């Protein structure tokens, strides 16, 4: 089994739960739903809870003192938002208590191989996020890009000062693949995190992404993954709702 970027083969990985951003981005999510995933994240020691911006205050308050981070999405899910709007949205989320921001890039700029536009968009948000000592993850939406466009987007994220690159929103088709995670890891080198998200529903999925270079996993099926790791019980595809639109 390969070691994480920046570690030796003898360095133990964090427990699997600490890779997972426990995610709820469905537009019809209620406050009760959000509080439930916060309780689940604390109980399972997940890395963060990732929600839409309207729930950041709720999540921040629910997670105080738990060691679980608050994460929000920006320019989501299309990325087709002016940069000044993304920065405003990011500033509000950080002020509300977001420790991490997952922003969607200007996908049209990536398709046009416009590195300058990508760097400008990402760097403006990165500057705003870093003022608050928060972390920026950049969603490149791999399903919509060619390999050359993916590499360009990753290189732009590095140049712009992002902390992570991330595969997918989960809303625009496709999802994380081992090939894309490997490509992204090669493009950013060992200095940035790589977050795999979209369609990761089993222990095998999660392990494959980590082996390919992922240092974070975005999933709405985190509990099922951890349950499979601890007792070998795989999720029931009939009752598990992580396949629904808006689930990572």
Catalytic residue IDs: 102, 166, 195
205 within 8 A of 177, measured Cβ to Cβ: no
d(CA 139, CA 154): 9
What is the end-to-end Cα distance of the chain in Å, rounded? 25
Task: Give me the count of residues in the chain.
Answer: 248
| 20 DSSP β-pair partners | 217
| Peptide bond just before 136 cis, omega within 30 deg | no
d(CA 208, CA 85): 36
| H-helix or E-strand spanning residue 95 | helix 83-96
Burial of 83 (0-12, 13-18, 19+ CB in 10 A): middle
């Amino acid at each position: 089994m390969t070691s994480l970027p920046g570690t030796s083969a003898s360095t133990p990985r964090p427990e699997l739960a600490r890779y997972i951003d426990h995610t709820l981005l469905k537009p019809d999510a209620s406050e009760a739903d959000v509080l439930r995933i916060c309780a689940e994240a604390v109980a399972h020691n997940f890395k963060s809870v990732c929600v839409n911006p309207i729930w950041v205050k709720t999540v921040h308050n629910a997670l105080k003192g738990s060691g679980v981070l608050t994460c929000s999405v920006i320019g989501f899910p299309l990325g087709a938002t002016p940069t000044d709007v993304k920065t405003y949205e990011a500033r509000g989320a950080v002020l509300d208590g977001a420790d991490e921001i997952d922003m969607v890039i200007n996908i049209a700029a990536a398709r046009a191989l416009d590195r300058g536009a990508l760097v400008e968009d990402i760097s403006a948000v990165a500057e705003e996020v870093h003022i608050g000592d928060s972390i920026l993850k950049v969603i490149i939406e791999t399903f919509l890009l060619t390999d050359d466009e993916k590499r360009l987007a990753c290189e732009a994220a590095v140049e712009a000062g992002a902390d992570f690159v991330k595969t997918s929103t989960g809303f625009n088709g496709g999802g994380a693949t081992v090939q894309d995670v490997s490509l992204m890891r090669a493009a950013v080198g060992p200095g940035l995190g790589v977050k795999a998200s979209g369609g990761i529903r089993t222990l095998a999925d999660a392990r494959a992404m980590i082996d390919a270079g992922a240092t974070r996993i975005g999933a709405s099926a985190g509990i099922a993954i951890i349950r499979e790791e601890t007792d070998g019980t795989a999720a029931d595809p009939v009752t598990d709702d992580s396949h629904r639109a808006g689930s990572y």
